[in-house]
Structure 1
């Protein structure tokens, strides 16, 4: 019974393979670059604020994409978790 649930939860609806992680898409690459630049550029200011907006906004866009187009329930839950976290920390 648990095995069937795990198969359903992690199996890709497009390929039929187990999918837990995927290569980053364009939005996630933008988030990674913005996060790395923000880490390198820790001083407050306009550039740092812009990088924060790109980072957080990109995570929200990525999370929404996963919620609506994720290949399996795991990826959709991952997107929902990231979205909930981002919204909670923004408010």
Structure 2
């Protein structure tokens, strides 16, 4: 297998093209807490859900950034990481 930039961008160490994977625990927690925050729109429960959602998405982005299987997944982690920071700066 050649070692081109396209291969490094989209292939994992086994040579498989990887763009999407099954969600891992931080991503599942983010999805669940975000949906629950839409139901509980105010009060302490909403605050806790938002903190959990942000923390789990941050964790997912961090893991993808430093342990992603290819450059695409690492770039995706970086994009989400930057998006989290920008959204928090924008709304503060």
Q: Do they superpose with TM above 0.5? A: yes
2:63 is aligned to: 65
Q: CA RMSD in A?
A: 1.1
Query: Normalization by structure 1: what TM-score?
Result: 0.87
Write the distance in 2 (CA, Å) between the matches of 1:25 and 1:8.
Answer: 22
1:45 is aligned to: 43
Please state how far the C-alpha of 1:89 moved relative to its aligned partner: 1.1
Flag structure 1 segments of 5+ consecutive residues without an equivalent: none
2:52 is aligned to: 54
Query: Normalization by structure 2: what TM-score?
Result: 0.86
Flag structure 2 segments of 5+ consecutive residues without an equivalent: none
